[in-house]
């Protein structure tokens, strides 16, 4: 084999090596993203095991609040809500700030929207419904960034469901699901 043929084979081998490394890297990146999404979802699902989150969410879902008590003045309304929940107020704030954080994570691609939707959409939308009398006016106040990512994510969920992409409750949508047999 002459030097020219050896150089050609070396170039071909180099090209194959580079292509193989690129393909391998693509699969590794895809796997890392899947692992990151899974880790993020598991960390957020762990909130349901947090006493503060559970108490806050329970307080929200069982809240019987008369919105006519609200004056429309932001700081006064905040104090009315704080007074309504009493000692559970910090736990309610844990829930609200968790939803706010998830909005940012979904927007930045750090959390998969579908994982969020499957894990939280029911209680998420119920939380929004419970606080809609407080959150809706925020949309109308130009420049108000309070709970902006929570509100943004509510809009994404509503759009998703309006397109018919949402799923019915799991006990209905997947009632015929069976685990795979062990090998």
CA distances 41 to 113, 132, 142, Å, are: 10, 26, 33
pLDDT of residue 5: 84
pLDDT of residue 2: 82
Question: How far apart, in whole angstroms, are the C-alpha atoms of residue 53 and residue 106?
Answer: 20
Residue with tokens 């050609």: 8
Given a cut of 70, the residues of the chain with pLDDT beneath it are: 37, 41, 47
Question: How far apart, in whole angstroms, are the C-alpha atoms of residue 28 and residue 25?
Answer: 5
pLDDT of residue 145: 78
Q: Which of 131, 135, 132 is nearest to 145 (CA)?
A: 135
pLDDT of residue 152: 94
Q: Which of 160, 153, 114 is nearest to 135 (CA)?
A: 153
Give the number of C-alpha atoms closer than 13 A to the C-alpha of residue 91, restricted to the C-beta side: 19
């Amino acid at each position: 084999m002459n030097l020219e043929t050896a150089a050609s084979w070396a170039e071909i081998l180099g090209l194959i090596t580079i292509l193989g490394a690129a393909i391998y890297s693509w699969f590794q990146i895809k796997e890392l993203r899947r692992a990151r999404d899974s880790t993020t979802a598991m960390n957020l699902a762990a909130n349901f095991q947090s006493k503060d989150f559970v108490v806050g969410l329970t307080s929200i879902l069982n809240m019987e609040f008369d919105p006519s008590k609200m004056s429309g003045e932001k700081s006064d309304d905040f104090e009315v809500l704080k007074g309504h929940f009493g000692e559970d107020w910090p736990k309610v704030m844990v829930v609200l700030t968790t939803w706010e954080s998830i909005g940012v994570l979904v927007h930045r691609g750090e959390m998969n929207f579908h994982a969020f939707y499957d894990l939280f959409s029911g209680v998420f939308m119920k939380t929004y419904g419970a606080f809609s009398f407080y959150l809706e006016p925020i949309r109308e106040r130009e420049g108000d960034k309070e709970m902006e990512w929570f509100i943004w994510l509510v809009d994404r969920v509503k759009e998703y469901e309006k397109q018919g992409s949402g799923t019915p409750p799991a006990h209905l949508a997947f009632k015929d699901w069976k685990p795979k047999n062990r090998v």
